[in-house]
């Protein structure tokens, strides 16, 4: 059954976020992270009013990869208009991903490869959460740009070959992009964004190795946390 929530109450705000990011509850009491389109700040390199769709499509891509690394995210309505609604996850507040990142811990491989595929321009330390079901990533509004934008703290994986299971996940995504998912991405973000995504998938499958950090643009988001 498709999840079609509506926000009925805003119960908090994530003040550190650069765009309006609200803790909210739906009609059945489910807690969600609500990011209204109206609360998106203009950016010079990402089209206006597309961040919510990027969040939603990031979940759809992770789901197509059969990876439970992005909480379920859909478009919904709320007091401040339509926006992305992501299931709120209870995260370990004592968790610090730095040690795992520094050691290129294998548990981070799914997120590292996911970021390559969606061209994540904002993988910060604080965007990696530890939950009872494993590691998940959040804040995927800066994804799917047609130009190379990968900015991540996961560069310790650079030059390393991805595990076969993660490569299979990318192959599964490639198949899904030939159908409804590809059409959704094209409709929401344009053909250029879709073609760039499909190209990144093919490039990774041809050589399933984490790329090296770029030397012609920032490689790490700021601030990194």
From the candidate CATH numbers 2.60.120, 2.30.30, 1.10.3470, 1.10.510, the one assigned to the domain spanning 7-206? 1.10.510
Average pLDDT of the segment spanning 192-213: 99
pLDDT of residue 85: 98
Return mean pLDDT, the chain.
Answer: 97
What percent of the chain stands above pLDDT 70?
A: 100
Angstrom distances, CA of residue 128 to CA of 63, 73, 135, 154: 17, 16, 7, 11
Angstrom distances, CA of residue 22 to CA of 69, 73, 136, 215: 21, 14, 19, 36
Question: Hey, which residues does 76 pair with through a beta bridge?
Answer: 83
What's the rounded Cα separation, in Å, for the pair 156 and 159?
9
pLDDT of residue 118: 99
**Residue 18 predicted with pLDDT over 90:** no
* Residues 26-74 pLDDT 10s: 999 999 999 999 999 999 999 989 999 999 999 999 999 999 999 999 9
Look at the alpha carbons of 183, 58, 147, 111 in this order and tell me if their dihedral is positive or negative. negative
**Residue 1 predicted with pLDDT over 90:** no
Domain boundaries, the chain: 7-206
User: How do strand 83-87 and strand 73-76 relate by DSSP bridges?
Assistant: antiparallel
Torsion angle, alpha carbons of 107, 111, 114, 120, to 10:
-160
Average pLDDT of the segment spanning 186-213: 99
* Residues 83-98 pLDDT 10s: 999 999 999 999 999 9
Which stretch of 11-20, 31-40, 98-107 has the lowest confidence by average pLDDT?
Answer: 11-20
**Residue 201 predicted with pLDDT over 80:** yes
Output phi, psi for 122, to 5 deg. -150, 45
85: closest CA among 38, 40, 126, 25?
25
**Residue 120 predicted with pLDDT over 90:** yes
pLDDT of residue 102: 98
């Amino acid at each position: 059954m498709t999840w079609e929530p509506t926000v009925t109450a805003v119960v908090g705000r994530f003040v550190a976020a650069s765009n309006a990011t609200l803790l909210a509850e739906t009609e059945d009491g489910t807690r969600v992270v609500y990011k209204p389109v109206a609360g998106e700040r203009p950016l010079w390199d990402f089209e206006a009013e597309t961040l919510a769709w990027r969040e939603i499509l990031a979940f759809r891509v992770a789901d197509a990869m059969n990876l439970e690394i992005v909480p379920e995210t859909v478009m919904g309505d709320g007091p401040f208009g339509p926006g992305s609604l992501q299931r709120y996850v209870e995260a370990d507040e004592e968790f610090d991903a730095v040690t795992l990142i520094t050691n290129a811990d294998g548990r981070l491989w799914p997120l590292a490869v996911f970021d390559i595929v969606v061209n994540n321009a904002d993988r910060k330390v604080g965007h990696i959460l530890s939950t009872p079901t494993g590691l998940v990533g959040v804040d995927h509004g800066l994804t799917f740009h047609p130009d190379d934008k990968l900015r991540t703290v996961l560069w310790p994986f650079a030059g390393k070959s991805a595990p076969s299971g993660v490569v299979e996940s990318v192959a599964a995504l490639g198949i899904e992009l030939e159908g409804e998912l590809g059409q959704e991405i094209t409709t929401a973000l344009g053909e250029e964004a879709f073609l760039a995504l499909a190209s990144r998938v093919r490039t990774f499958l041809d050589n399933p190795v984490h790329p090296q950090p770029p030397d012609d643009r920032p490689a790490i988001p700021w601030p990194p946390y």
